[in-house]
Amino acid sequence: MKKEDFKIQGMHCASCATNIENLSKTLPGVKSAFVDYAMQKGTVSFDENITNVETIGKSITDALGYKITSGKERDLEEENRSYQKEIRQQRNYTIFSWLLAIPIMFGTFREFWILSSFVPAFLANSYILWLLTTPLMLGPGRQFFVGTYRGLKHGFTDMNLLVATGTGAAYLLGMVNTLFPNLGFGGSKVAFFETAALLIAFLVLGRYLEVLTKGKASEAIKKLMGLKVKTARVIRNGIEQEISIEEIMVGDLIVVKPGEKFPVDGVIRFGYSAVDESMITGESIPVEKKENDTVIGATINLTGLIRFEATKIGKDTMLSQIIKFIEDAQLAKPKIQKLADKVSANFILVIHILALLVFLFWFFIGYDIFFTPGSQFLLSSISLSTVPISVFAVLLSITVLIISCPCAVGLATPSAIAAGTAKGAEYGILIKGGDAMERASKVNTVVLDKTGTLTKGKPAVTDIINIGSLDTNQILQIAASAEKGSEHPLGEAMVKNALEKNLVLSPIDSFQAIPGHGIEALIDGKKIYLGNRQLMSVQKITLNDSVEEKMQKLEEDGKTAMILAINGTIEGLIAVADTLKENSASAVATLQKMDFEVLMLTGDNRRTAQAIAKQIGIQNVLAGVLPENKALEVKKLQQQGKVVAMVGDGINDAPALTQADVGIAIGSGSDIAKGAGQIVLVKEDLRDIISAFDLSKKTMRKIKENLFWAFAYNALGVPLAAGALYPWFKFLVSPELAALFMALSSVSVTLNTLLLKRYKFKYI
């Protein structure tokens, strides 16, 4: 199975997205398909032996008319060109529509108010109105009919159908009344051309506004893509040469002058400089970088000349990963959107049934009982005293079709998710989509991994205690030699300390890490065990009271005591202590203030864990938890009905991050942890957890507000359009007013979403 993205041009409502999804699923070899209307893109999973994304795209284009381009290589300039073209087309349509619709409206309403004083009489002639309306129907209005035809050909219904039936019926009625005024449909005085013209004009205006706002939703990605550098100066065979970024290979030595951007990710091999990483991390203060420090592609070298070695290129760079992350995020649908999609997919069918019922009701019952001559449509020239029963019922039916387009429902969720994830990304908080946001907004319990999350994860050796015949340097030399092959931070601290003391490390014959316990190594034929009590207990090495007492004292101080045993005899203790991250304590305090239950999870023993917890202010500690049991502890909390967020950084946290309702990975941690987390914090600042929760809550609130307004428009509009208030108030909503109402619902939802752009992070 292969998964690929594709870009879609020409979608006009949420139903279009549903139709593409439905059609894709029927194509041979396609397993699943997701389409995001707001982002104008989709993802399809397919069997590459049967089909490919080009074939799928061609089938969609042939069947439904949408232009599909493979998302493999996104061409920003091409995307921008086609987006600008779409804007221009809809803008021209809007101008053209209104240039015709206004004279049509004046001509139709000529007898009202003071219009007759400046509107020429010929404009009221129904043939002239017909002449003006026809180019409107064939020009800007054609898109609705073409869309309807393509949809119906494959059995799909979308908003085009609602518009086409409404405007088509009004136009045909106008034609009949003009050509055959005595047929009884109201005569030439009631031409209905203004209904068709204003409907098209309002709908095209709505579509233009939608195209403008849809572009804003994908602005963040475009902004990020725009950060990419096009060329780089590489030293090859001792010669400095300028090459395109695609030609850079891992291991290349790249020169970056002050003021230039780093083209790819890498490690500094020469030079010292301050680097502006704000575009990636949101951190406004430049970061000092020296030899062996890592640099991120697209960040700016501010002060010194740097030569760095490329370590990640192409799609592996952090910038590409962030872009991919956001793109995937915007495609992941939250439950609330799945519900909205289902509703809007069936909505069009329901509305057509409703329109039929409205027609039948007013035709057979309503007209006879409630009709009062003299009452009027709002915003229409039609005088109800001159309209026959069939026309009256058809007009109400058309109004219901026009007012109920679920465009706003379709925009409500994806636009807010796009705005929320983009806002987060701007400040180094990467949220994997609506689903993660939805769950993050419900979290009430936060489990924090200790090492690397609350602490810097780079502990240092604090105490070396000899128990047997070896002196402290010998103990450290053996321990560091054994730990040389380990990637564990405790081991690294010992190696670092030994090297600082100029101790020469011995070669090891064998090495094995025992997760959660320690290590086992063979040096010069001696069996070395270095680890915690559990390791000694498994190896049946007994700790006497003196050793136990010394260990307890170290642990009471929050230090991790490691026991070194050589050939089954305990030779010494090495204490290592980790230091807290700068903002750990304040982040925990704020989380507690916000009524989150905060727990610390660690593989360390209870005493060490309690000592650290005390410094941070955490009361609930889950200590001595082996890596494989971390997920189990999270599960236990979930079984108690808690919605758990797990914050971690290491490979061993990955299962717990996956088990948690929301996994939050620290950006400096392992790639596996980042893959397992639904939220990634690019910076090391734990206060970003609070911002992530807050932003998720705000985005979810925005979605709910949007859905409320979108459904409220329909809930209010449909009964009004169906004439529910007519028996009492004697007024009806005209089809053109319905079109305005519908366009306003999409615009108000989009404007409400755009307010998220003004969101301020609590600590930034």
Partner 1 sequence: MKNNKSKKFFIISLILAGFSSFLFILAANNKNGVEKFDIYLGAVWVFILSTIVALSLIHMFKNSKQDE
Cα-based distances in Å from 344 to 17, 19, 349: 11, 11, 9
Question: Nearest to residue 343, comparing CAs of 715, 759, 722?
Answer: 715
Per CB under 8 A, does 149 bind partner 1?
no
Select 347 or 759, whichever has its Cβ closest to partner 1: 347
Per CB under 8 A, does 152 bind partner 1?
yes
Is 449 annotated in the active site?
Answer: yes
Residue among 349, 712, 715, 724 that touches partner 1 (CB under 8 A) = 349
Per CB under 8 A, does 599 bind partner 1?
no
What is the total count of residues that contact partner 1 (CB under 8 A)? 35
List the 306-312 sheet strands across, edge first.
239-244, 231-236, 253-256, 306-312, 265-270, 294-295
Contacting range for partner 1; rule: CB under 8 A; set: 383-391, 510-518, 664-672, 719-727: 383-391
Per CB under 8 A, does 446 bind partner 1?
no
Select 364 or 763, whichever has its Cβ closest to partner 1: 364
Contacting range for partner 1; rule: CB under 8 A; set: 6-14, 130-138, 343-351, 720-728: 343-351
Per CB under 8 A, does 355 bind partner 1?
yes
* Chain position carrying tokens 């409404």: 166
How big is the chain by its Cα radius of gyration, in Å?
Answer: 34
Q: For the CB of residue 352, give the shortest distance to partner 1 in the complex, in Å.
A: 5
Residues in the chain: 764
Per CB under 8 A, does 160 bind partner 1?
no
Contacting range for partner 1; rule: CB under 8 A; set: 35-43, 359-367, 444-452, 542-550: 359-367
Residue among 348, 425, 613, 703 that touches partner 1 (CB under 8 A) = 348
SS3 content of the chain, % helix, strand, coil (to 5): 55, 20, 25
Select 182 or 237, whichever has its Cβ closest to partner 1: 182
Per CB under 8 A, does 381 bind partner 1?
no
Question: Residue 130 corresponds to which tokens in the numbers above?
Answer: 């017909």
Please spell the DSSP secondary structure of 195-217, one letter per residue: HHHHHHHHHHHHHHHHHHHHHHH
Please spell the DSSP secondary structure of 326-349, one letter per residue: HHHHHHSPPHHHHHHHHHHHHHHH
Please spell the DSSP secondary structure of 229-242, one letter per residue: -SEEEEEETTEEEE
- Answer positive or negative: Cα dihedral of 631, 636, 641, 645: negative
Residue among 85, 154, 636, 757 that touches partner 1 (CB under 8 A) = 154
The whole-angstrom separation of Cα 326 and Cα 336 is: 19
Site for partner 1 in 395-424 (CB under 8 A): 397
Contacting range for partner 1; rule: CB under 8 A; set: 139-147, 240-248, 387-395, 656-664: 387-395
Residue among 29, 388, 485, 627 that touches partner 1 (CB under 8 A) = 388
Residue among 46, 144, 156, 308 that touches partner 1 (CB under 8 A) = 156
Select 93 or 362, whichever has its Cβ closest to partner 1: 362
Active-site option among 36, 252, 435, 449: 449
The whole-angstrom separation of Cα 745 and Cα 736 is: 14
Looking at residue 684, the DSSP 8-state letter turns out to be S
Interface pattern 171-190 for partner 1 (x via CB under 8 A): --x---------xxx-----
Select 397 or 584, whichever has its Cβ closest to partner 1: 397
The whole-angstrom separation of Cα 416 and Cα 569 is: 63
- Half-sphere exposure (CA, 13 Å, Cβ side) for 229? 26
Residue among 9, 82, 390, 473 that touches partner 1 (CB under 8 A) = 390
Q: For the CB of residue 153, give the shortest distance to partner 1 in the complex, in Å.
A: 7
What end-to-end distance do the CA atoms of the chain give, in Å?
43
Cα-based distances in Å from 127 to 176, 522, 707: 11, 101, 44
Q: How deeply is 517 buried, as exposed, middle or buried, from its count of CB atoms within 10 A (0-12, 13-18, 19+)?
A: buried
Select 188 or 301, whichever has its Cβ closest to partner 1: 188
Select 373 or 507, whichever has its Cβ closest to partner 1: 373
For residue 523, give every residue at least 6 positions away whose Cβ sits within 8 Å of its Cβ, in sequence order, or none.
478, 481, 482, 506, 507, 508, 509
The whole-angstrom separation of Cα 596 and Cα 641 is: 14
Select 33 or 173, whichever has its Cβ closest to partner 1: 173
Q: For the CB of residue 394, give the shortest distance to partner 1 in the complex, in Å.
A: 5
Per CB under 8 A, does 393 bind partner 1?
yes
The whole-angstrom separation of Cα 616 and Cα 309 is: 39
Select 26 or 244, whichever has its Cβ closest to partner 1: 26
Select 176 or 212, whichever has its Cβ closest to partner 1: 176
Contacting range for partner 1; rule: CB under 8 A; set: 138-146, 252-260, 344-352, 721-729: 344-352
Query: Do residues 210 and 414 lie in contact, with contact meaning Cβ atoms separated by under 8 Å?
Result: no
Residue among 78, 368, 500, 671 that touches partner 1 (CB under 8 A) = 368
Identity of residue 409 = V
Query: Do residues 451 and 516 lie in contact, with contact meaning Cβ atoms separated by under 8 Å?
Result: no
Interface pattern 6-45 for partner 1 (x via CB under 8 A): ----------------x--xx-------------------
Per CB under 8 A, does 236 bind partner 1?
no
Residues belonging to the active site: 449
Give the footprint of partner 1 on this chain (CB under 8 A). Answer: 22, 25-26, 152-157, 161, 165, 169, 173, 183-185, 346, 348-349, 352-353, 355-356, 359-360, 363-364, 368, 388-391, 393-394, 397
